[in-house]
Every structure is written in C-alpha cells, then in structure tokens.
C-alpha cells in the first residue's frame, strides 16, 4: 500500500474534526491571520507524531519536516496569505483527505529550495509562419476562412509551409512495396482527364475485382491486415461537387478510394474515403494539384476526426507522387515515372485497395454498431476497462489538419467528457498537467487517461534528412526550399484519450448575465489556484477553454477551466514552447512581440488575466444578441 494512502487510512480512523472545529468558527482564521495559520500547523504536527508512533512512514516524516520548515517561513514572513487561501476554503467545506492532500502539496512546494516568488517565464517563440489569420494558431480561427476554395487553399498553404517535405528517402520501401497484382496495364503520357478515369476503372475491373471479399462489412470493428490481402477498396470519382456528404464545403474529387462494399450509387460520404487523389495532364500544374489535394485531405480529417493519417497521390502527365498527411505535416515520395516503371504504379495503387484500416490510418478506437457509438475506457486505474456509450455527434471537432486535433464526446449518462487530443508535441502533455492540478478548485478533474497512438509510429524508418522542405509561400513547385530537418525536430504528437469530469457546455451558451459572470469568475479563481497551488500557468485563455457545468444539487452552475495542453510549469525547467493563444484574446504585449518578431518574451500570469478581460468584453458584446443581428467576431 502507498505510504500516503496509509496516512489517509489513519486519518479515516482518527478524524481531524477536534482540531479543525476550533478554526472553522474562528473569525481571525477565516479572515486570513497568518498567526492562526501557524497555530493550525502547530496543532497538526502532534497529530502527525501520533501517526508515526504507530507505524514507520518516510512520507509522513517528510511531511512533518516540511510543515516545520513552513512554520519558520510563516514566522519570517516569507509566505503570504494567498498561499493558504484554498486551504481555508478546504477546511470549511471539504473532507479530511482533501485537506491533507492540499497540505502535502503546499508544504512541499513552499519549502523548496527555489525562491517562493514565482519567476516570469522565458518562452521562445515558434518560427514565423506567413498566414492570413494568425502566426501562432491554426487557420480555423478566422470566421469564414473556408468560404471560398481559394481562401482555404491559401490558409492550408500557410498552415503547411514549414512542415511539408518532398522526396523523403525510404518512402517507397516503407509504404508501397506490398506485392504485385499482375501484368502491367497500358498507360501513356497523353491521356485526357476522362481517359485517366477510364484507366482507373479498368485497372480495378481487370486486376482487383476478382480478389474482392464479398462478406466484408464497412461498419465492422476495425481489424488488422488480412493475411490473404483481399481487396478492401475500390477507385471512385465524382462528377459534381454535391455528391459528397459530410463535408464543410461541397467538393468534386478527381479520384478516391472507398470501401469495396460501398454501393455504386450517386451519393457518397467523406467518412468512407480511404485515399484521395488528383491528376492533371499538364506537368506544370503538379504543384497546383497538390494545393487542390489538401482541401480533400482536410475534408477527410473533418469527417473522420480520429483519422491517424491520410494517404494521397498526385498523378501528372507521366509522373506520380505519393503523399502522407498527418497532424504534424505532410511528406512525399520522389517522383516516379509511370511510363518507365509501370510496375511501381500498379503495385502502389493495388496497395491502396488492400491496406488494412490501421495501414490506412483509420480510427480503431470508437466502435459503431446500429448507429450507436462506444468507447472502451476506465473511470480509474483500479477497475477494468469497459465499453461506454457516447453521443455519436462530437461536441467539438478540429477543422484544420495541422493541429492538436481536440475532439470531445459526451457520455450518454452526461457525467463525463471523453477528450481525444494529439497534443502540442511537447514532452509535458495535458494529461501531465491535469494530474498535477488534481484538487484545484475551478479546474476540470482528470478521471483516467491513456495513450493511443503517436506520429512516430508511421514515420518510423523514414530519412527526412534527405528530403526537401517545401515552403508553400513559393508558388513554383521546382523551387529549392530549405534542407529537410532531422526527424527529432518534427512535432512528435501523441494521441491521448482522457476521461474528464464534470461534463460542461461552452461559456457562450450561458443564458443569463449571472451565469456568464459567475462562470467567468470561477474560471479566474481556477486559474489563480492553478498558478498558486499547482505551480502551473495556463497560457491559453479563451472563451472556448471555459465551460459551464451542469447544475449541482443546489441548482448552481459553475465555471471550469479546461485545456491545459499549452500550459507550463512556473518554476523549474520549462520546455521550449510556442507563444500561443487565440488571437482575439491574446495580450497586447504578446501580439506586439509577434509583430516585431522578437523571438522570445517574458510571459506571466498578467497576460492570462488580460485574456480573461477580453473574454469578458467579447461576452458583453456578442452573447445574447438577436440571431438576426449582424455577427460581431472581433477578428479584424
């Protein structure tokens, strides 16, 4: 048994009420008298001594030592009442276990060798990105950024400009060398678009249709590769933009792969797309065709938000380039001459139709059955996993490609929020910060979490040092970009599943002024507790990171702070992280630093408080407006 758990069990047998009752009704203690705080710790030390007489416990011995040192700091005025504000609250309203948990936390934190005054943070900025929206945030921030195809392509170009690599070595060996399906089919370098479509259909009919497995069900639980490598996909194309459902915008697709058992009717859906492709007769348009391919990839990620990665290809005149796009960027093979090496063409396109769900990057986490969705989770580490039904429609989903991909579902019992996230690629993830913030009032609680997948898995074995980094701002495909960076410089994003409580709704859904103000105040108090008691600076305050809980037993609705992925520890070692934030909520000094491209800046809690103020302003102006009124976004 854990030593701290032994101490908690001792407390269960020997409650603290005789000690605490004298402080619960003490006006001096309630008003924050440091002398009374010192008296409290003086009364707790004999209690700890009695515990140590019954059993040896090094953790409790350390606690006693830390409390002694803390009393010395109180007498020397080295700590302030702000350090004990939450302790006063817990003594009035919470259990003995929660009180001890907090005392252990603050006694260890306030007696560290580091000075008690929390330092400002030196956070290096990311490399500049040329973007029409924001230098530091994904392109989905600007309303109507995808209102036209040109605007979306420009936004995606800016998003991918520093994370796209061409001609990555070992690409073919890693993804394409999966066996042959027969003799080469005739392909020439003077095909029209219609001729190319006819070639794809003939290719499937002659070489793939005979190997099709009739009983395969596209809605079955995802499985690993069938050892017999039966055909699972077929090539399809659309003739109009309205044939594809489930997208943000209507798009006509040159060619794509869907499940072989999907009906051959007129309508199709982006959730069924397995591979996307573009082709053109003009070699000069191959770069342009890649930019057209990316909106298709974005629609796949939107309709399949848990997709690990997406395969794609661009076929131009007599060359083909194979692409893979994930949450960290895009990378491609070198150009393959389909006239001189038709074997590779056939083998590659065959591979697309026989790949397993895992090899295609499809989601293998959520099970769907009879239009119901289930996910396998635990509520804590002490109970076995079990299937829990979730609302099939996500509360939030990512709209961009290169992002943390935050995806949230609500359990059908409305108790928990199931959050999937790819994270920022930093060593410390949101799960780590939520674990450190356990017990902080005003911050959501982490019930359980697990890692599911990581980008490095499908990038393993590739040599990015041989690739060419493609700057999307350069219009000419043949322009030589910067050399490819080593793989360790890529964002090593990891997909995690977190069970979070309580379930909440967005701040912008508030129905009264009181609900808005109380929710915002609770979040501010949570931010202060996070900073003072857990030593964490949130760093990404926005309206989307504040939720309102369901009414409690007294009918009260509370605000909670969420999304700690961009947080940093206040004291001690900090990783290199991007200056971050939603643009319209960012502090002015941060925006000035971005505009001046200064590289680094001092970031403190004051910047987060300024962001809270902007959340307040946006709420005052935008919330509760007549639906027919002109929308005000504050983005310009």
Q: What is the pLDDT of residue 8?
A: 86
Model pTM above 0.85: no
226: domain CATH number? 3.90.1570
Cα–Cα distance measured from residue 472 to residue 131, given in angstroms and rounded to the nearest whole number:
11
Q: What is the pLDDT of residue 471?
A: 67
Assigned domain for 54 exists: yes
pLDDT tens digits, 515-530: 999 999 999 999 999 9
One domain, residues 379 and 514: yes
Which helix or strand (DSSP H or E) is residue 223 part of?
none
Assigned domain for 126 exists: no
Structural domain total, the chain: 3
Cα–Cα distance measured from residue 564 to residue 534, given in angstroms and rounded to the nearest whole number:
12
Find the mean pLDDT for residues 300-304: 92
One domain, residues 271 and 344: yes
One domain, residues 268 and 241: yes
pLDDT tens digits, 253-275: 889 999 888 888 888 899 999 99
Q: Is 514 a residue whose pLDDT tops 50?
A: yes
Cis peptide before 502 (omega within 30 of 0): yes
Assigned domain for 142 exists: no
Q: What percent of the chain has pLDDT over 90?
A: 24
Q: What is the pLDDT of residue 319?
A: 86
Cα–Cα distance measured from residue 273 to residue 282, given in angstroms and rounded to the nearest whole number:
26
Assigned domain for 146 exists: no
Question: Which residue range is the domain that position 439 belongs to?
Answer: 367-622
Most trustworthy range by pLDDT among 59-68, 187-196, 457-466:
59-68
Cα–Cα distance measured from residue 32 to residue 188, given in angstroms and rounded to the nearest whole number:
84
pLDDT tens digits, 204-220: 765 666 555 554 455 55
Task: Please measure the distance between the N-terminal and C-terminal CA atoms of the chain and give it in whole angstroms.
Answer: 58
Assigned domain for 578 exists: yes
**Is-contact 448 380, C-beta < 8 A?**
yes
Assigned domain for 148 exists: no
The band of 127, judged by pLDDT with boundaries at 50, 70 and 90, is very low
Burial grade of 167 (CB within 10 A; 0-12, 13-18, 19 or more): middle
512: domain CATH number? 1.10.510
Q: Going along 552-595, which residue ranges are E strands?
A: 559-561, 568-569
H-type alpha helices, 128-179: 149-160, 171-175
One domain, residues 97 and 182: no
């Amino acid at each position: 048994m854990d030593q701290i758990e032994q101490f908690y069990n001792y407390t269960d047998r020997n409650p603290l009420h005789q000690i605490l009752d004298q402080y619960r009704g003490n006006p001096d203690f309630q008003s924050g008298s440091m002398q009374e705080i010192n008296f409290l710790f003086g009364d707790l030390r004999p209690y700890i001594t009695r515990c140590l007489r019954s059993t040896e416990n090094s953790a409790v011995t350390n606690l006693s030592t830390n409390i002694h040192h803390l009393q010395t700091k109180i007498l020397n005025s080295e700590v302030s009442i702000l350090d004990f504000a939450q302790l006063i609250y817990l003594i009035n309203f919470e259990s003995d276990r929660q009180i001890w948990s907090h005392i252990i936390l603050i006694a260890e934190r306030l007696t560290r060798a580091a000075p008690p005054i929390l330092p400002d943070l030196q956070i290096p900025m990311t490399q500049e990105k040329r973007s029409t929206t924001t230098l530091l945030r994904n392109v989905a921030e600007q309303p109507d950024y995808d209102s036209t195809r040109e605007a979306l392509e420009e936004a995606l170009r800016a998003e991918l400009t520093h994370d796209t690599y061409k001609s990555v070595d070992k690409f073919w060996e890693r993804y394409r060398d999966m066996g042959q399906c027969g003799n080469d089919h005739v392909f020439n370098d003077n095909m029209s678009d219609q001729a190319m479509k006819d070639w794809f259909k003939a290719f499937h009919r002659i070489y793939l249709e005979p190997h099709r497995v009739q009983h395969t069900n596209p809605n079955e639980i995802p499985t690993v590769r069938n050892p017999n490598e039966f055909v699972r996909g077929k090539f399809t194309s659309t003739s109009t933009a309205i044939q594809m459902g489930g997208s943000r915008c209507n798009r006509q697709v040159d060619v794509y792969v869907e499940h072989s058992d999907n009906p051959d009717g007129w309508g199709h859906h982006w959730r069924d797309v397995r591979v996307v492709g573009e082709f053109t007769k003009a070699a000069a348009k191959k770069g342009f065709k890649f930019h057209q391919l990316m909106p298709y990839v974005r629609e796949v990620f939107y309709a399949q938000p848990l997709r690990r990665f997406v395969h794609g290809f661009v076929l131009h005149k007599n060359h083909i380039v194979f692409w893979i796009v994930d949450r960290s960027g895009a990378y491609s093979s070198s150009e393959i001459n389909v006239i001189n090496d038709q074997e590779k063409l056939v083998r590659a396109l065959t591979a697309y139709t026989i790949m397993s769900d895992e090899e295609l990057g499809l989601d293998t986490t959520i099970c769907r059955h009879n239009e119901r969705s289930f996910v396998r989770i635990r509520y804590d580490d002490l109970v076995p996993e079990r299937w829990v039904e979730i609302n099939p429609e996500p509360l939030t989903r990512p709209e961009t490609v290169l992002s943390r991909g935050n995806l949230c579902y609500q359990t059908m019992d409305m108790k928990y929020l199931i959050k999937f996230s790819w994270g920022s690629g930093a060593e410390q993830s949101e799960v780590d910060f939520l674990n450190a913030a356990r017990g902080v009032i005003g911050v959501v609680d982490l019930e359980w979490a697990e890692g599911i997948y990581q980008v490095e898995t499908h990038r393993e074995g590739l040599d990015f040092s041989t690739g060419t980094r493609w700057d999307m701002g350069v219009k000419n495909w043949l322009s030589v970009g910067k050399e490819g960076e080593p793989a360790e410089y890529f964002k090593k994003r990891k997909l995690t599943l977190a069970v979070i409580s309580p379930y909440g709704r967005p701040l912008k859904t508030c129905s009264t002024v009181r609900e808005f103000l109380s929710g915002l105040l609770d979040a501010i108090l949570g931010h202060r507790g996070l900073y003072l008691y857990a030593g964490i600076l949130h760093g990404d305050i926005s309206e989307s990171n504040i939720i309102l809980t369901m009414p409690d037993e007294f009918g009260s609705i509370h605000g909670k702070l969420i999304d700690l992925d961009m947080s940093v520890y206040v004291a001690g070692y900090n990783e290199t992280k991007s200056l971050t934030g939603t643009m319209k909520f960012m502090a002015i000094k941060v925006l000035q630093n971005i505009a001046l491209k200064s590289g680094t800046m001092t970031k403190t809690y004051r910047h987060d408080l300024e962001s809270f103020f902007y959340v307040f302003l946006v709420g005052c102006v935008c919330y509760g407006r007549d639906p027919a009124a002109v929308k005000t976004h504050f983005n310009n």
